[in-house]
Structure 1
Amino acid sequence: MPQTRPLWLILAPAIFLILWSAGFAVAKIGLQYAPPMTLLALRFGLVILIMAVMFLVLRPPLPETAADWLHLAIVGVLIQTVYFGFCYMGFVNGIAAGTLALIMALQPIVVALIAPRWSGEQIGWRQWGGLVLALSGTAVVIVARLDIGPAPLLGFLFSALALGGIVMGSLWEKRFGRYHHPVTANLIGYGAGFICLLPFLAAQGVGPVEWNMPFIWVLAYLVIGNSLIAIGLLLAMIRAGEVAKVSALLFLVPPLAALVAWVALSEKMPPLAWVGLVLAGAGVYIATRKHKGTAP
């Protein structure tokens, strides 16, 4: 008899998409007030502080084996240091928020190509059709609102490295991840990410930070909205479902990121882009829905 999914898991995709999509514009605003590695160091440091306090209060169990510690650390480095670090470097090297979101939308395609060999999942024609439709809609959204020339080559290189980080982090979590208390998992993951960030911070130097209310709000959003809630939901959804289907949800991020950028950064949102938004949403629905009778 199939089990009823908890309410938080039903709402998780919508909450994750909103928080994650807005993060592109919010991060770009934050980089107006602090260099990328400095912003990331502040973000990770605050998350670690919050997790450490919660750990002392809740006393959750620690991983039982060295392998569990290692896997949590690897996922933390791939998603925190590699993905976020190179995303921020892409921003400061000329990549627009919409362009970066489009590059990150390639993640489900790459995951779907690797998943059968990596985690044993089978990708059906319906998933492939939904992925292609969602990618097409995403491309329409981004292309419709591009009114400037291509970003510098270095920016694209950093974006490609960020894509590699989020792809490998998702696949590693799916294959090797086990259930751990969220506080424990976050504390270890962000701790490993912060440690691996230090050499880059030392090389770049701790730049000046313009402390004002906009930057404080940005930092609060990145710490609580992105680093704690969104990442936690992403990893929980990966554990609860097939990695390729979960990753397909990220196809909605580029059009929603464009919408947030239109509101927050006054970036253009032409009528054709709304058509792409509908196409991307339809593709995600096709790729992620289950037939009646399919086991959960």
Structure 2
Amino acid sequence: MSDSSSAAATSARERPPLWLTAAPGLFLLLWSLGFPVAKIGTQHVDPLLFLGLRFVLVLAIMLPVWLWLRPPMPTRLSAWGHQAVVGFLIQTVYFGCCYSAFALGSSAGVVALVVSLQPILVALAAPAMVGETIGTRRWLGFGLGFVGAVVVILGRSTVEGITTGGLLLTIAALLGMSGATLYEKRYGQPLHPVSANLIQYFTGLLTTLPLIVLFGHFTLDWDGALVGSLAYLVIGNSLIAISLLLAMIRRGEASRVSALFYLVPPCAALFSWWLIDEPMPAVSWLGMAIAAAGVALVSRKPRNRQA
């Protein structure tokens, strides 16, 4: 085989699959839309009960799929434990705290802004926890992304849309997702997405049930808004977006994946303006452009220099 043919074959093998190339954009849209949709849902049901219903519906879909596909489950107890930890941090801590913050009156845009601080936390912890090196260009990207996110939210004049309790819950959600990203990158192992989701959502249900019993209210208003919110969060957020997030974490550096969260506030602001009439003034569009530039800096891989 000639050198050119060998190089072409190597390039084809190294080229990521099409679905993985499209994963960042699809994840961003699905994840961002989840903020206003979740706020709509928490207006009709207790947030903890809402979370529990979501887990039950996801498991009702995942179990038959698992029985049909029969994908392998972890063979070691430690691997089960690692999946359970990630499931608890994402499903119970992150989503539970976000939903509760919405129920306390926090706006979707402000919650999205606070959790967008995740890339900073991941970047600070990544060198020690997962051995990543954060260069000057990527730190500049983090800074631009954060500035853009702040411009979007402040431009919408919704900072007052959060209570002290809501702020504390949102910070807890931020810590939960940041911890899950780093933990998955360090301890996560290749596992079929159906198996990983099954373990994580079962963990989420088990750890949320005591909270529902202790702090939840068993009243809900079954109407089109609640049913639609549940349907989207089950399929869009729970089944598709989480699978894309875990796949991207395993295939890329944790800090690069986390940088996507800088685009969540402007996208969530746009969806919130459309769905729940949270205003989107002109200055916020400038913030979206700044955040996009920051993510581009962080996400761009350095070119290999040839001798």
TM-score (norm 2): 0.94
Q: Is the 8 A contact 2:43 2:103 kept in 1?
A: no
Percent pairwise identity: 49
Partner of 1:86: 97
Residue of structure 2 equivalent to 1:77: 88
Counterpart check, 1:50 vs 2:61:
yes
- Structure 2 match to 1:97: 108
Does 1:237 pair with 2:251?
no
| Partner residue in 1 for 2:262 | 251
Task: Indicate the residue corresponding to 1:110 in structure 2.
Answer: 121
Q: Is 1:292 matched up with 2:295?
A: no
CA offset digits 1:99-131 (Å, max 9, x no partner): 111100100000000000000011111110001
Distance 2:163 2:15 in 1: 49
Question: Cα deviation per residue 1:81-111 (whole Å; 9 max; x = unaligned)?
Answer: 0000011111112321111111001000000
2: CA distance, partners of 1:148 / 1:132:
20
TM-score by length of 1: 0.97
Q: Quick check: 1:260 aligned with 2:271?
A: yes
Structural mapping, 1:121-136, within 5 Å: 121-136=132-147
Cα offset for 1:266? 1.1
CA shift, 1:147, in A, is 4.6
How far off is 1:176 after superposition? 0.2
**Preserved contact between residue 36 and residue 268 of structure 2 (Cα < 8 Å):** yes
RMSD of aligned Cα (Å) = 1.1
Q: Which residue of 2 aligns with 1:6?
A: 17
Q: Which moved more, 1:89-98 or 1:250-259?
A: 89-98
Q: Which 4+ residue blocks in structure 1 deviate beyond 3 angstroms?
A: none
Compared CA separation, residues 150 and 32, structure 1 to 2 (3 A): closer
2:176 match:
165
Unaligned runs of 5+ in 2: 1-9
User: What are the within-5 Å matches in structure 2 for residues 169-208 of structure 1?
Assistant: 169-208=180-219
Q: What is the one-letter code of the residue matched to 1:281?
A: A
For residue 160 of structure 1, what is the amino acid of its counterpart? Answer: I
Q: CA deviation at 1:206?
A: 4.1
1:138 maps to 2:149: yes
What is the rounded CA distance, in whole Å, between the counterparts of 2:145 and 2:64 in structure 1?
41
The one-letter code sitting in structure 2 at the alignment partner of 1:138 is: A
| Structure 1 gap segments, 5+ residues each | none
- Residues in 2 aligned to 1:147 and 1:235: alpha-carbon distance in whole angstroms: 31
1:22 aligns to what?
33
Paired with 1:55 and 1:92, the residues of 2 have a C-alpha distance of 34
| Aligned residue among 206, 219, 225 for 2:230 | 219
Aligned length: 294
Larger radius of gyration: 2
